[in-house]
Structure 1
Amino acid sequence: MVKLDRFEIILSNPEEVYFAGQEITGKVIIETSEEKKVNEILLELKGRARTYWTKHSGKSRIHCSDSVPYFCEQLNTHYTSKFVATSPDGKSREKILPAGIHEVPFSYTLPKTLPSSFEGEFGFIRYTCRATCERPWDFDIVARKVFTVVGIEDINGDSEALSPASVSDSNYNIKFCCRKQGSINAQMSLERIGYTPGETITVHCKINNESQRSIKSPLIRLRQEVNYRAKTFSGSECTRKTSRNILTIEKPDVAASAQRDWEEKVLLPSLAPRLSKCSSINLQYFLELIVDQKLSLFIPIIIETIPLLSGIFTKVKVKVKNEPGNANGNVIEATQDSTESVVQVTVTDEAGNVVEEDDQLGEELEALLASRKRVRMPSSILSELYPSLPSPYYK
């Protein structure tokens, strides 16, 4: 059996994370200590969504599944074509790979409409790259690489994500003979409902306890809900839902006949964004204020991937003149937080022309938001926007 010392796929981006529409580049590494007969080096890049589960009804079982392909690119690298040699008997030509290390480069531009990678209990959205070493009269050698795709979900073009939200409710407790024990009123509001991972949500909360009992440990909770869609063998549609708590913040008790107002800062961890371009998996998030067993509030929030332009520009280097302590009046570079790494971005108009930065950024930012300029971000920005991005895919 022919064996290779090394056969693997190396992507140019060490994070192995790409935006939809971005070019993915890499190389196939082949290392062998002696000459090997190899027919072809084949590549396949594929992306798909799949859902699957089994329903039990008595002794019968019903299998539900669905698969949605997004792309499947298969290509022959023709790398072995330059190593064609004539067999010793002179009757045939063989492709013999010389000993040493061989690098087979490749590139592929991802479609712009891809949803983000996701791994769930009853389904996934997965993107893979597979290299095959095709050998004569022997088993093929296969190398696989899974990479993460971040779909384009832009807050700047989503009016719903930029709108504020508020909710309120009350719980009237009634004792025997219709005598009121008192009421509990709760309110929760957000400045907007659209955010990206790494951002901080400011939650305005108010609890007015007019009852005769104290409220034990109210909670603020972020919950994820996933809805899967599939079909049975006969073609009938079926759905399944899962829910899990992302984070929980416990607050102090609220005494009887007391009121509490506060602002809670909730830091969003690395989460899978909404999957608006996927028909098989629907992902939702809810921010909840749980006062007691009978009173709870919730606001649905949207997790997207492209943050507000204003949030990006706070990290871009700004030229500052006549800074205190800069007696010579030299131009220096400053950031909002000197301890924070700077994200480099490029702003372009609809025609793709680069918009130059001015010294004063406030007025320009208003114009950018009004005229819907686009922001081109390099792959290195992913480590800034998603500092704890899991690899190789979201969960």
Structure 2
Amino acid sequence: MHHLSQIRHFMLELDCGPGPVAVYRGGELLSGRVVLDVTRGLRVKALAIYAWGLATAHWLEGKTVGMSTVYSDYTAHETYLQRCQPLIGDNGDVTVLPAGRHEFAFTFQLPESLATSFEGKHGSVRYWVKAKLHRPWSTVKTVKKEFTVIEPIDINTPTLLAPQAGAKEKLARAWYCSRGQVSVSAKIDRKGYTPGEVIPIFAEIDNCTSRTVVPKAAIIQVQTFTARGAKKQKKCVVASIVGDSIAAHKREVWHGRALKIPPVGPSILECHILRVEYVLKICVDIPGTSKLLLELPLVIGTIPLHPFGSRTSSVSSQYSVNLDWLRTGITEQLEAPPEYSLVVSGNESLESPPLPCPNSPPNLLEGPFFAYIQEFRLRPPPLYSEVDPNPPSENSIRPRCMTC
């Protein structure tokens, strides 16, 4: 108690730029200070600052053996950052700090390649700094502060700008008798999108059965954890729409049906033990038969089409306005997505509880994962002109066939 009473404050401060949250990317400088405020002279053996970045995957699997259950532990780690910097060297001497406030600055160079911060059911990617204070004849006193890393994903690349398309068909059966076929073909403009954007879905659904079918579309987040050669997945619906019912022997066409991407974390594709991926799933409910499913891959990025400002600026400075917007809460009420089991077949719906309802208090959506979503929400409208810059030519006007 004698030593504790000497320390009024022992804390960490990070230089996080104009924004309130410390957000960094690979290759940037992580800087800050250790603040030590003492009431009277304090004897110190050493003071050091550590920077850590760690990806972890962990889960248990039970197996029944006789009358008991044996659990297997699956754990994996991947280190992205491990640094130490002495602030008061441990050279055998004791340093006496006089009463008052003392600041010890530190700077770390972050590695060029890092994984985006993430918190999942069976794993996480976390970054933090920790200061350790060593005093004679006393326990080590520590203070810890976490920070966030968002690795940019630029969707302005040929791979992510490429259109995605697919087709599937399914034969509806009842009591081993064919009831006709349902087919779906769908296309989206590109593979890469950013939160807040709208995905226009172009699709054709042919219902050649004698039953009414219902088409749906959903964005699915797939978390994949890997440890000891085994994998564990968790899937959840982050947004969905339901189309109009399609009567028997009818066709439904979606001419760019809009599906808006809510505030979600970006894809994580470079971590060996933890991946976060997204798919657009087109689902057709067929009475008496399992659902017809078509999946198109998605990548959720952080840099939208034609972004504002310089891409070389720091992440914290790019996204500071967006963090301010998050503190005010979401102004538009979003419709809660359905449970994952409602848009997939029964054998796929394991490990998939529903997402929190977007009508929950705003702090549920607070956090640096969503720091980039405003950058494209406030785009200016296109320039107005009364003169059509691309007037139609006479050859481009097709005459109407009077016999049709």
TM-score, structure 2 normalization: 0.70
After TM superposition, the structure 1 = structure 2 runs for residues 69-108 of structure 1, keeping only pairs within 5 Å, are 69-78=79-88, 94-108=94-108
Contact kept, 8 Å, 2:56 with 2:125, in 1: the verdict is yes
Quote how far apart the aligned CAs of 1:73 are: 0.6
Is residue 239 of structure 2 the alignment partner of residue 247 of structure 1?
yes
Structure 1 residue 220, shift from structure 2 partner: 1.5
3-state DSSP of counterpart to 1:291: strand
Distance 2:61 2:141 in 1: 37
Q: Which residue of structure 1 lines up, in the alignment, with residue 15 of structure 2? A: 12
Structure 2 equivalent of residue 189 of structure 1: 187
Report the Cα distance in structure 2 between the residues aligned to 1:209 and 1:9, rounded to whole angstroms: 63
1:75 Cα deviation after fit: 0.7
User: Matched residues in 2 for 1:226 and 1:302: separation?
Assistant: 13
C-alpha separation in 2, matches of 1:238 and 1:185? 35
Q: Secondary structure at the match of 2:317?
A: helix
1:5 shift after superposition: 2.1
Query: Residues 29 and 393 of structure 1: is their aligned pair in 2 closer, same or farther, counting only changes over 3 Å?
Result: farther
What runs of 5+ residues in structure 1 fail to find an aligned partner?
82-91, 232-236, 317-344, 347-374
CA–CA distance in structure 2, aligned partners of residues 300 and 284 of structure 1 = 8
Q: Structure 1 residue 392: deviation in Å?
A: 6.3
In 2, distance between residues paired with 1:282 and 1:48?
Answer: 14
Aligned position for 1:209: 207
Contact in 2 for aligned 1:198/1:385 (Cα 8 Å):
no
- 1:391 equivalent to 2:383? Answer no
Aligned to 1:279: 272
- The alpha-carbon distance between structure 1 residues 172 and 304, as it changes in their structure 2 partners (threshold 3 A), is same
Partner of 1:46: 52
Aligned partner of 1:323 in structure 2 is none
Pair 1:151-2:143 in alignment: no
Aligned counterpart for 1:297 among listed residues 290, 294, 298: 294
State the Cα distance separating 1:286 from its structure 2 match.
Answer: 1.1
Q: Secondary structure of 1:160's partner? A: helix
- Counterparts of 1:104 and 1:259, CA distance in 2: 70
Alpha-carbon distance in structure 2 between the residues aligned to 1:177 and 1:222: 33
Aligned-partner Cα distance in 1 for 2:98–2:175: 91
- The AA in structure 1 aligned to 2:303 is I
Q: Taking structure 1 as reference, are residues 102 and 282 closer, same or farther at Cα in structure 2, changes over 3 Å only?
A: same
1:48·1:67 contact (CA, 8 Å) conserved in 2?
Answer: yes
SS across alignment from 1:161: helix
Shift of 1:247: 2.1
- 1:376 alignment partner in structure 2: 312
Residue 88 of structure 1 corresponds to none
For 1:260-339, what aligned pairs fall within 5 Å after superposition? 260-262=252-254, 263-292=256-285, 293-308=290-305, 310=306, 312=307, 316=308
Distance 1:243 1:79, change over 3 A: same
In the alignment, is the contact (CA less than 8 A) between 2:53 and 2:80 conserved in 1?
Answer: yes
Match of 1:228 in 2: 225
User: SS of the residue aligned with 1:5?
Assistant: strand
Contact 1:30 1:101 in 2 (8 A): yes
1:107 maps to a residue whose letter is T
Deviation at 1:175, TM superposition (A): 6.4
Instruction: Tell whether the 8 Å contact from 1:38 to 1:80 is kept in structure 2 after alignment.
Output: no
Contact 2:224 2:233 in 1 (8 A): yes
Aligned residue for 2:165?
166
For residue 30 of structure 1, the aligned residue among 28, 33, 36 is: 36
Secondary structure of 2:202's counterpart equals strand
**What's the secondary structure of 1:198's corresponding residue?**
coil
Measure the CA separation in 1 of the matches of 2:115 and 2:264: 14
Structure 2 gap segments, 5+ residues each: 327-364, 371-404
In the alignment, the residues of structure 2 paired with residue 195 and residue 385 of structure 1 have an alpha-carbon distance, to the nearest angstrom, of 17
For residue 46 of structure 1, report the CA deviation from its aligned partner: 0.9
Distance 1:214 1:118, change over 3 A: same
In structure 2, C-alpha distance between the alignment counterparts of 1:38 and 1:138, rounded to whole Å: 10
Counterpart-to-counterpart distance in 2, 1:385 and 1:195: 17
Would the aligned equivalents of 1:117 and 1:272 in 2 still touch at CA under 8 Å? no
- Tell me, in whole angstroms, the C-alpha distance in 2 between the residues paired with 1:177 and 1:275: 44
Q: 1:17 to 1:185 in 2, by over 3 A?
A: same
- TM-score, normalised to structure 1, is 0.71
2:45–2:93: 8 Å Cα contact kept in structure 1? no
Could you tell me how far 1:148 is from its partner in structure 2?
Answer: 0.9
Q: Percent identity?
A: 27
Distance 1:274 1:15, change over 3 A: same
